[in-house]
């Protein structure tokens, strides 16, 4: 039965994973992810799953790959520096097309950076997973409830498309507490016959030879098979543009001005929009929920005859999301940006000011 509980973001998303049938977690502590690892250290065994505190993020992501190849719903969670260490494993997981879930609870800055929330891993996660140019489904929820709902579905999608799923929250969302509706427990499917799962061979099933590079296929040479198989991967990615794009439009019906933002920034923008509306400003929000696939068509369809100005909002300096959005917008629309970096929050009153400047 679903139930209403008050939980910290990190704990809520981990609980949703358990309820989604996740039975393996490996992770390495890093602020602001630590409470997720702590929660699962007792909750995962309680649910009959496996918890491993890995020796590093390099190990954690590869443990997740190993568990996925045992047919288990497996996940890890990390933040900036840990994500960097995971890129090798992410590349391998994308190459092997292993259904797995990775939560990136973003912190700010390069190198050690700072431990406060940020959105500066946008490029790193959406452009390619490690080397090789492969990708996965990437979600950027704005609230704990939305994180929970996405997490609850994530393995269904991961298994449907044979892909990693990355959920991008941030230090703000990870630490705050909110009331959430927790979904019911669901059972993971039997994956033992899947071609990416080893062991538990039944009857005379042929061996599974699982490799991160798809060298085998209908072509004569390794290179031709790699090219051919990667082109099949690409078709999967392209199908996401048609079938998996998610976004929210908030108060856009009569809007003359638009804010475009994702995750925590979008949530703060909503407060600003409510204030601006009280002052008679016709402003709305366009919020991508999927970062891969990115809502390209929807952005391109924003009508220059209707929208007088757009403000992008993000917690990243230098800009990332802003630049991405600019690729798709009509060039005749005036676009301004507001961003905060270094772990600073975007503020609703500053957003209001930026919108007012455009009026």
Partner 1 sequence: MECIYTKSKALSAVPTSFCPGCMHGTAIKLIAEVSEELGIENDLVMVAPIGCAVFLGAFVEFDSFGSPHGRPGATGTGFKRSNPDVPLILYQGDGDCASIGLAETMHAANRGENFTVIMINNQVYGMTGGQAAPTTLPGQKTTTSPAGRSIEGSGYPIQLAELIASFKAPKYVTRQSLHTPKNVLAAKKAIKKALEIQINEGGYSYVELMSACPTNWKMDPKDTPKYMEDVVLKEFPVGDLKG
Element (H, E) at 3: strand 3-8
| Interaction of residue 201 with partner 1, rule CB under 8 A | yes
**Distance (Å, rounded) from C-alpha 89 to C-alpha 107?**
20
> CB under 8 Å to 84, separation ≥6 — which residues?
124
| Interaction of residue 64 with partner 1, rule CB under 8 A | yes
**Distance (Å, rounded) from C-alpha 157 to C-alpha 353?**
40
**Contact range with partner 1 by CB under 8 A, out of 53-61, 136-144, 169-177, 331-339:** 53-61
| Interaction of residue 96 with partner 1, rule CB under 8 A | yes
- Minimum CB separation from partner 1 for residue 49, in Å? 9
| Interaction of residue 258 with partner 1, rule CB under 8 A | no
- Pick the closest to residue 113 from 316, 320, 346 (CA basis): 316
- Pick the closest to residue 130 from 159, 166, 154, 157 (CA basis): 166
Q: Which is nearer to partner 1, 63 or 285 (CB)?
A: 63
| Interaction of residue 226 with partner 1, rule CB under 8 A | no
| Interaction of residue 190 with partner 1, rule CB under 8 A | no
**Contact range with partner 1 by CB under 8 A, out of 85-93, 167-175, 225-233, 246-254:** 85-93
> CB under 8 Å to 171, separation ≥6 — which residues?
31, 32, 79, 105, 106, 107, 108, 115, 116, 117, 118, 343
Strand 50-53 to 335-339 pairing: unpaired
- Minimum CB separation from partner 1 for residue 64, in Å? 6
- Minimum CB separation from partner 1 for residue 206, in Å? 9
Q: Which is nearer to partner 1, 127 or 200 (CB)?
A: 200
- Minimum CB separation from partner 1 for residue 83, in Å? 16
Residues near partner 1 (CB under 8 A): 23-24, 26, 50, 52, 54-56, 58-60, 62-72, 74, 88-89, 92, 96, 198-201, 207-213
């Amino acid at each position: 039965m679903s139930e209403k509980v008050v939980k910290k973001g990190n704990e809520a998303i981990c609980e949703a994973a358990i309820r989604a049938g996740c039975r393996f977690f490996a992770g390495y502590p890093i602020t602001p992810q630590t409470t997720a690892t702590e929660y699962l250290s007792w909750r995962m065994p309680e649910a009959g799953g496996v918890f491993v505190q890995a020796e590093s993020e390099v190990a954690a992501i590869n443990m997740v790959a190993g568990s996925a190849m045992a047919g288990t719903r497996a996940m890890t969670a990390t933040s900036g520096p840990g994500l960097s260490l995971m890129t090798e494993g992410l590349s391998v997981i994308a190459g092997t097309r292993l259904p797995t879930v990775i939560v990136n609870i973003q912190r700010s800055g390069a190198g050690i950076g700072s431990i406060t929330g940020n959105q500066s891993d946008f490029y790193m996660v959406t452009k390619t997973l490690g080397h090789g140019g492969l990708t996965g489904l990437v979600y950027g929820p704005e609230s704990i409830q939305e994180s929970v709902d996405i997490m609850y579905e994530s393995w269904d999608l991961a298994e449907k498309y044979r892909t990693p799923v990355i959920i991008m929250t941030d230090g703000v969302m990870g630490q705050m507490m909110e009331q959430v509706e927790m979904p019911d427990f669901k059972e993971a499917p039997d994956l033992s016959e899947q071609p990416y799962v080893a062991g538990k061979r039944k009857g005379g099933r042929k061996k599974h030879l699982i490799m991160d590079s798809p060298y085998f296929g209908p072509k004569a040479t390794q290179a031709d098979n790699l090219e051919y198989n990667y082109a099949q991967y690409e078709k999967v990615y392209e199908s996401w543009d048609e079938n998996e794009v998610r976004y929210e439009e908030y108060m856009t019906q009569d809007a003359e001005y638009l804010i475009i933002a994702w995750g925590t920034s979008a949530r703060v923008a909503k407060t600003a929009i409510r204030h601006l509306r009280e002052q008679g400003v016709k402003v709305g929000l366009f919020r991508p929920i999927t970062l891969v696939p990115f809502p390209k068509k929807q952005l391109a369809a924003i009508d220059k005859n209707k929208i007088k100005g757009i403000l992008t909002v993000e917690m990243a300096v230098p800009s990332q999301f802003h630049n991405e959005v600019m690729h798709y917008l009509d060039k005749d629309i005036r676009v301004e940006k507001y961003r905060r970096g270094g772990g600073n929050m975007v503020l609703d009153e500053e957003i209001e000011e930026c919108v007012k400047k455009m009026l």
